[in-house]
Amino acid sequence: MARSIERGALAAVVAAIFATPALAARIHPKVVNFPGDGVREVVSPTGVAIYFIDQTPDGDGNSDRPILLRYPGGRTEQIDSFGRNADVSWSPHGDWLVVTNNLGSDVADCRAITPGAPKAHTQSLTSLIEGGRFPRISAEVRNADHAYVRCGRWLSPDGVEVRVEGNVCNPIPCRMRWFDYRLTYDFRSGRLSSGHRR
């Protein structure tokens, strides 16, 4: 009887934790925006945490915030930094991570990150697209006036959707032309595969 009461109390505590939005977001979110969502740290199911540190603004009022990983043993490493904001999302099992860094009003880059020792492996998906197997998309990104490569929607435990969008207005005067593609990045192979254009 005592054991069943203890189990019931434990279940109630777990349910309460997941019912609390701030705590639930900290444990395992879909996509969290640093710093916009008010969450400073996101812990993966494997216990690795991604977090950012506020910095004192420089003379122009700019502050570049480091993004770090903290491993269960206490080791930390910086994997990126952001000046505006960044979207972070762990894979469903916590083995991989994507960080979309909104670098400016005209550019965003997604980094695919594999935590590990001696250090995490990071891959810029903009760089992969520009040098990869999709010449048309590569040309669009290179020649765009605005180019955004964003990630966050997991399609499988090891595959994430990569949205490539932006606009081209070249030469001037011109009519603005928008592009919007969907690719998939597979962490196991380190390759992009085609999706569809909208």
> What is the H or E stretch that residue 14 is in?
helix 2-19
pTM of the model: 0.79
- pLDDT of residue 197 exceeding 90, the answer is no
Tens of pLDDT, residue by residue over 132-144, are 789 999 999 998 9
b/e map 119-157, b = 16+ CB within 10 Å: ebeebebbebbbeeebeebbebbeebebbbbbbbebeee
In a domain, residue 17? The reply is no
Tens of pLDDT, residue by residue over 87-114, are 999 999 999 999 999 999 999 999 999 9
In a domain, residue 137? The reply is yes
Q: Tell me, what's the pLDDT at 152?
A: 86
- pLDDT of residue 3 exceeding 90, the answer is no
In a domain, residue 128? The reply is yes
CA atoms in the 13 A half-sphere facing the CB of 173: 0
pLDDT tier, 175 (very low <50, low <70, confident <90, very high otherwise): confident
pLDDT-above-90 percentage for the chain: 69
In a domain, residue 103? The reply is yes
In angstroms, the CA 165 to CA 198 distance is 10
Q: What is the mean pLDDT of residues 154-159?
A: 94
Most confident of 76-80, 130-134, 170-174: 76-80
In a domain, residue 24? The reply is no
In angstroms, the CA 1 to CA 7 distance is 10
Q: Tell me, what's the pLDDT at 92?
A: 94
State the average pLDDT for the chain.
Answer: 84
In a domain, residue 124? The reply is yes
Tens of pLDDT, residue by residue over 42-76, are 999 999 999 999 887 666 666 789 999 999 999 99
Give the total number of structural domains in the chain. Answer: 1
In a domain, residue 112? The reply is yes
In a domain, residue 11? The reply is no
For residue 173, what are the domain limits?
29-197
